[in-house]
Chains A and B, each alone.
Chain A
Amino acid sequence: MIEVLTHVTYWVTWMLIVYYSIYNGIFLVVLLRGALEVSREVNWPSSMSLSEIFANPLTPGISVIVPAHNEESGIVDAVLALRNLRYPLTRIIVVDDGSTDSTFEKLKDNFDLRPSTREIANAPHHEGKIIDMWASRSGDLTVVRKESVRLRSDAVNVGLRVADQEIVCMIDADSLLERDALLHIAAPFVADPTVLGVGGVIRPANGVSVSRGAVTKVEMPKKWVERIQVVEYLRAFLVGRTGWASIKGLMIISGAFGAFRRDAVLEVGGLDITSLAEDADLVVSITKKARDEKRPYRIAFVAEPVCWTEVPNTFKALSTQRRRWSQGLGELIAKQRKMILNPRYGVLGMLTLPYFVLFEFYGPIFGIIGAFIALAGAITGLITWQLFALAFFVSVGLSLISSLASVLIEENAYHRYSRLRDVITLLLTTIAELLGFHVVHTWWRLQGVYRALFNRPSEWGTIARSGFDQEQSEQPSGHVSGQPRTQS
């Protein structure tokens, strides 16, 4: 009996070693590609391209879709910030998704809105009925009021019906864009006619100071729960997504900030309102359609930090978000299962999707079972401590190395954290994340896996937000630090 147990523990530990070797091996390759791409982006002389895009009448127009639900505290500043972006042709579409506060009244008062009777497209499909439509006198701002069905994607689809520019950009009302964000995001569309979608690096806005809708000071946030997310975002966005895009395997463009060719989005019927991972679903659907029709296409990613968004500042809110992400990933995988290991879908089908199935979705199951067996085996003497050390190295050690490497890439390329002590905090956070947070995070993901596998109802939850820290001397109207606001 003991012999059988010993053999089982031994081979499970070896499987765990192989599993994490492949997992971290693939990520290290993605990281290296990401690092090369970031380095190329940083060193490439892009200022001329950006100024040419800004100054040219042939620059494609962008419709910016902002779904807003009870955003009275920040919506005016959000629109003002969008209006101040450096881009020659922007049309802002705010979709007031059944707000019960004064979101619409604030917009109406501040931007002199008038009823609009302009015609809108018939597609894509949405559930919430459109109540009415308003437009500013200059025509650059349209506000659509609709009944809420508690789905962000439904509001975005309404925005897509109103959008009339070549490119559509979807952002969250609480996202803050860098002044040149739209220029950066438009550049790949201009340079390559086959680009169908472009994602941008998103950074946690917790800890940054804002003045007149622009980020003025970047410091590490005070709470560990926020700091950990800074490291996660560096690893996932700056390095991960840049790397995946460079090997033509990008699967996710965040809903908080992404741009697409309008035609490409409409061809796949807009966002899937039944999906919890509607942003990834959109990218996968666009890729699938292009591949099915054998059309040249590219999904690009801009490594330059372009968008700041507030991340959950409590573990409770974070757990809700992560459960939802995990569940959404499971639903997406189930929906697009025919693409997995299908050579027709290129890198996305042969590498990205299998990677996400095996390591991102089922990862928590392998992680928890494997870690328990290996640790118990080492303590009871069923396996040697050497073997346990090997398992620990390929799982924890390589993960720590990849996190630290992400910090190194950020420091070399963008160095947005101005103080040395923030950089040191960033380094310490990578250790805290792996040794403490990782366990809790795995548990949350496991709950999401359970919900996805057993078709439990989707949960969006409510995240309390505290707003951006405004620099006191130049505080604009309405958006007050510390004022709670909620977003479904």
Chain B
Amino acid sequence: MIGTIEALPSIPGLMMALLLTSATVCALIGVTVVLTRVARTIAHAREHKQREKVRPLLLDIFDGNANFTLPRAELRALIRLAAESATQVRGEDRDALTSWLTAQQFHRECLRRMKSPFALTRARALDRFAPIASLAPGAIERMLSDRDPRVRSLAAQVAGRSGMKSLVPALLHSAEAPRSIPARIVLMAVLRAAPSTIADFGGTPVDGNDRVRAMALDLAGQLNLVDARRAIEAGLDSPSEFVRLASIRSIQRLGSPLSLPALQKMSTYSAYEHSHAQVAIYELQVG
């Protein structure tokens, strides 16, 4: 055995300390993994049991016979179940569930959480609030300018899914707002909200912001809003190429020969725009 150099530094007890530390950390992680599994299994079983117990009460809520009193834990389980079910049913059943949830102050809890400083809490509250979002469109509109971009996108999706036509102008403006929402999400949300008339778009078809105006005109065509024809034709005279191209696309989609004169007399500024206009004219002429 060759002797070590005494001058080289060493730390007494280091070996044992390191071995013990690593062994302890590893053992702790291992035990945590197993305990997590066991705890989750027990929690799932308990939740499943509770849900199965309260599930029949959903039928009472649908029938308007919700005059039952439940222990606190079971009531919470029923509220959770009702909130989830509200997104899966339609018509009177949905109305019955939302009124019961409102009676339970479910919306107040969601609205309170939607003001949380944590993005995740706000997002989860927004998601739970979705089935009854039509009760408070103002709250959803506020969330369209949330400080977290993912929450803003989620708010747009909630607005679209809830079919809140009153939020269509706000949605379109949010694509160009300082706290913006990606244009594709906005377009998808408006399509989902499915406004049935150009009046639902508010002032956006003549908006000063060219991108907002172009999106509004594009969507009017995609939604086949016949009453939007004049607004779309007016877009052909816009100084913005975005708007003019959106108008050409929408005229093509509407397919109304009444738009032919406006299309024929429009001034095109690029070969790309000109070719699009010519295709649209041809399609309108041949029907």
Q: Which of B1, B12, B40 contacts A415 (CB 8 A)?
A: B40
A131 within 8 Å of B by Cβ? Answer: no
Given known contacts A48-B158, A397-B22, is B153 in contact with A43 (CB within 8 Å)?
Answer: no
Knowing A389-B14, A411-B37, say if A52 contacts B5 (CB, 8 Å): no
| B4 near A384: Cβ-Cβ < 8 Å | yes
> Is B14 in contact with A386, judged by CB distance below 8 angstroms?
yes
Collect the chain A residues with CB atoms within 8 Å of residue B10's CB.
384, 386-387
Residues of B within 8 A of A59 (CB): 188
Known: A56-B192, A423-B33. A10 touches B182 (CB 8 A): no
A interface, size bucket? 35 or more
Name the residue of chain A whose CB is nearest to the CB of B11.
Answer: A386
B271 part of interface (Cβ distance < 8 Å) = no
On chain B, the residues within 8 Å of A389 by CB distance are: 14-15, 18-19
Instruction: Using known A-B contacts A380-B2, A411-B37, determine if residue A56 contacts B158 with beta carbons closer than 8 Å.
Output: no
Complex CA gap A48/B154 in Å reads 8
Closest chain B residue to A427, Cβ basis: B30
Q: Say if the beta carbon of B8 comes within 8 Å of chain A.
A: yes
Interface assignment of A121: CB less than 8 Å from any CB of chain B:
no
Q: In the bound complex, do residue A423 and residue B120 qualify as a contact, i.e. CB atoms below 8 Å apart? A: no
| CB pair B33 A381 closer than 8 Å | no
Contact B22 A393 (CB under 8 A): yes
Asked if A170 is an interface residue, CB under 8 A from chain B, the answer is no
Q: Are B29 and A408 in contact (CB under 8 A)?
A: yes
Contacts of A371-419 to chain B: CB distance below 8 A:
380-390, 392-393, 397-398, 400-401, 404-405, 407-408, 411-412, 415
Any A CB within 8 A of the CB of B81 = no
By the criterion CB–CB under 8 Å, are A386 and B161 in contact? Answer: no
Per DSSP, chain B at the interface is: helix
Complex interface: chain A residues within 8 A of B184 (CB): 58, 60, 190, 193
Contacts of B29 in A (CB 8 A): 401, 404-405, 407-408
Instruction: Known A45-B123, A45-B124; judge A382-B33 contact (CB<8 A).
Output: no
User: Do B130 and A48 touch across chains, with their CB atoms under 8 A apart?
Assistant: yes
A58 touches B36 (CB 8 A): no
The chain A residue sitting closest to B127, CB to CB, is A45
Contact with B along A46-59 (1 / 0, CB 8 A): 01110011011111
**Contact indicator per residue, chain A 274-302, by CB within 8 Å of chain B (1) or not (0):** 00000000000000000000000000000
A193, B182: Cβ atoms under 8 Å? Answer: yes
Interface residues of B in 170-218 (CB under 8 A from A): 182-185, 187-189, 191-192
Instruction: State the CA gap A431–B165 with chains docked (Å).
Output: 58
Find the A residue at minimum CB distance from B87.
A48
Distance of A49 Cα from B130 Cα, bound (Å) = 12
Chain A proximity mask over B39-52: 1 for CB below 8 Å, otherwise 0: 01100000000000
Question: Which residue of A has the minimal Cβ distance to B32?
Answer: A408
A481 lies within 8 A of chain B by Cβ: no
Taking the closest CB of chain A, its distance from the CB of B256, in whole angstroms, is 21
Is B150 among interface residues, defined by CB-CB distance under 8 A? Answer: yes
Q: Do A386 and B191 contact each other (CB < 8 Å), given the known contacts A58-B184, A401-B26?
A: no
The answer to whether A48 and B188 touch (CB under 8 A), given A6-B2, A193-B183, A401-B22, is no
Contact of B182 among A48, A56, A191 (CB under 8 A): A191
Closest residue of chain B to A384 (Cβ to Cβ) is: B10
- Report chain B residues within 8 Å CB of A55: 192
- Given A386-B11, A389-B19, A58 and B187 contact (CB-CB distance below 8 Å): yes
B34 close to A (CB within 8 Å): yes
Residue in chain B with minimal CB distance to A194? B182
Interchain nearest-CB distance for A488 vs B (Å): 39
A49 & B192 in contact (Cβ 8 Å cutoff): no
Interface residue from A6, A190, A408 paired with B33 (Cβ < 8 Å): A408
Contact B22 A58 (CB under 8 A): no
B118 to chain A, nearest CB (A): 11
Task: Find out whether the CB atom of A43 lies under 8 angstroms from the CB atom of B4.
Answer: no
With both chains docked as a complex, state the minimum distance between the C-beta of B39 and any C-beta of chain A, in angstroms.
11
Give the shortest distance, in Å, between B87 (CB) and chain A (any CB).
8
Provide the bound-state CA to CA distance between A23 and B40, in Å.
34
User: Can you list 28 pairs linking A and B with CB atoms under 8 Å apart?
Assistant: A5-B2, A10-B5, A44-B120, A44-B123, A45-B124, A45-B126, A52-B188, A52-B192, A56-B191, A56-B192, A60-B184, A190-B188, A191-B185, A193-B183, A380-B2, A383-B4, A389-B14, A393-B18, A393-B22, A404-B26, A407-B33, A408-B29, A408-B33, A411-B36, A411-B37, A415-B37, A415-B40, A420-B37
Can you name 9 extra interface pairs (CB under 8 A) apart from A44-B123, A56-B188?
A5-B2, A6-B5, A191-B150, A381-B1, A389-B15, A397-B18, A400-B26, A411-B33, A411-B36
Cβ-closest 4 pairs across A and B:
A45-B127, A397-B22, A389-B15, A404-B29
